Amino acid sequence: MTDPSYDEQVVPEPEEQETPAPQAEEPPVDEPAEEVDPLTAAQQALSERTDDLQRLQAEFVNYKRRVERDRELIKQNATYAALAPITEVLDTIDRAREHAPLEDGFKAVAEQLERTVTTAGLTKYGEPGDAFDPSLHEALSHIGEDPEVEVTTCKVIAKAGYRIGDRVVRAAQVLVVDPPSGPTA
């Protein structure tokens, strides 16, 4: 008697466990598939792809701008690096002109060098009488007061300054004077 009841108890349990599992899995899979309209699904997929495309297009435009900006910066840095050491050569040419006029071959080379650096964007600045600007000038010495000036002024230019565009390659080295500090009679 124990054997038949044991068989009856064992057999129904596996049947009950197998039957509910497939029923529980099938309705959730079938219900969402039936509720989704193919047109709505296609429109949603199209919207997602359009958003992805717009995002990628914006990223590409930003990338192109960044690359162009970086190229320009590299070009400016290379120009600066190439022309900065030449400022000393230009100073030597200026000192030679102060002692005597340049002649023949040296004059031609000096003029060609000056034209070349000017074409590359190097400009010379700094004249006596310019208002002193610490971002453009390096004051080597203060030589007193001058009643003819209203602001601190460059009186003597020891070495001219050079810049490329707005970027200073070398500040002009100057001697400065101040306006009179007390009352003048």
Q: Are 155 and 146 in contact (CB under 8 A)?
A: yes
The whole-model pTM stands at: 0.62
Q: Domain count of the chain?
A: 1
Classify residue 10: in a domain, yes or no: no
163 pLDDT above the threshold of 80: yes
180 pLDDT above the threshold of 90: no
Classify residue 134: in a domain, yes or no: yes
Classify residue 29: in a domain, yes or no: no
Give burial (CB, 10 Å; 0-12/13-18/19+) of 154. Answer: buried
Classify residue 11: in a domain, yes or no: no
**CA distance to 116, 124, 169, per residue, from 80 (Å):** 14, 14, 7
19 pLDDT above the threshold of 90: no
Q: Are 119 and 86 in contact (CB under 8 A)?
A: no
**Residue-number span of the structural domain to which 128 is assigned:** 124-185
Q: Are 27 and 33 in contact (CB under 8 A)?
A: no
175 pLDDT above the threshold of 80: yes
Lowest mean pLDDT segment, chosen from 24-28, 85-89, 108-112, 158-162:
24-28
pLDDT at residue 181 in the model: 81
Lowest mean pLDDT segment, chosen from 5-14, 107-116, 154-163:
5-14
Q: How far apart are CA 90 and CA 113, in angstroms?
A: 8
How much is the average pLDDT of 61-79?
94
**Closest listed residue to residue 76, CA positions, set 164, 136, 161:** 164
Residue recorded with tokens 């899995």? 25
What does pLDDT average to over the chain? 83
Classify residue 136: in a domain, yes or no: yes
Q: pLDDT tens digits, residue range 20-31?
A: 444 444 444 444
| Residue 147 belongs to domain with CATH number | 2.30.22.10
Classify residue 106: in a domain, yes or no: no
The pLDDT > 70 percentage for the chain reads 79
Classify residue 163: in a domain, yes or no: yes
Segment holding 152, helix H or strand E: none
Classify residue 147: in a domain, yes or no: yes
